[in-house]
Amino acid sequence: MLKSILKTSSALFVATTIGFASAGAAFAMDENPMVGGAAMFADKNIVENAVNSKDHTTLVAAVKAAGLVETLQSEGPFTVFAPTNAAFEALPEGTVETLLKPENKDMLTKVLTAHVVAGDVKAADLIKMIEDNGGTYNFTAVSGDALSAQLNDGNVYIIDENGNAAKVTIADVNQSNGVIHVVNSVLVPK
20: Cα within 13 Å, side-chain hemisphere: 5
Ranges of the chain whose pLDDT falls below 70: 1-30
Q: Which of 41, 125, 111, 46 is nearest to 78 (CA)?
A: 46
Judged on CB neighbours under 10 Å (0-12, 13-18, 19+), 98 is middle
Q: What is the pLDDT of residues 91-119, one digit of tens each?
A: 999 999 999 999 999 999 999 999 999 99
The pLDDT value recorded for residue 73 is 84
For the chain, what are the domain ranges? 1-31, 35-183
**How far is the C-alpha of 41 from the C-alpha of 182, rounded, in Å?**
15
Q: Any idea which fold 35-183 has?
A: FAS1 domain (2.30.180)
Asked whether 120 and 79 are in contact (CB, 8 A), the reply is yes
Average pLDDT over the chain, rounded to whole?
82
